[in-house]
Amino acid sequence: MAKGQLIGGIRFRPGEVDWEGTRTTFRETLPDFQKLRDGLVYFGSRHTTVGLVAKIGRYILVITEQDETGSEYDYTLIPAKAKTAVHYHD
């Protein structure tokens, strides 16, 4: 089994990352609140990226392609946990 590839001092391993993005809609009924509470259904857009995967700090970096010299990459940078800030206005 391949142990991956060392890039910039970080070990990347072949893998796949699934994550849920946000969703904004216009003029649509609200989602099922019970399903939201249960967390069993994706309500946002669902994404999948396949490549060399490494967790770096608060992020997951997926390299999908690199040039021959290893100096330029196609990659996806995914927050491991989205930081959110909610500000209510009264």
Helix (H) or strand (E) holding 34: helix 33-38
Look up residue 71 and give its two tokens.
């100096």
* Domain-embedded: residue 42: yes
- The model's pLDDT over 23-71, given as tens digits with 9 standing for 90+, comes to 888 999 988 899 889 987 888 888 999 999 999 999 999 999 999 988 8
Q: Is residue 15 part of a domain?
A: yes
Q: Domain of 71?
A: 5-79
pLDDT of 1: 47
Domain count, the chain: 1
The reported pLDDT for the residue numbered 2 is: 60
Q: What is the DSSP string of 55-80?
A: EETTEEEEEEEE-TTSS-EEEEEEES
In a domain, 50, yes or no: yes
Residue among 13, 21, 76, 27 at smallest CA distance from 43: 21
pLDDT at 39: 84
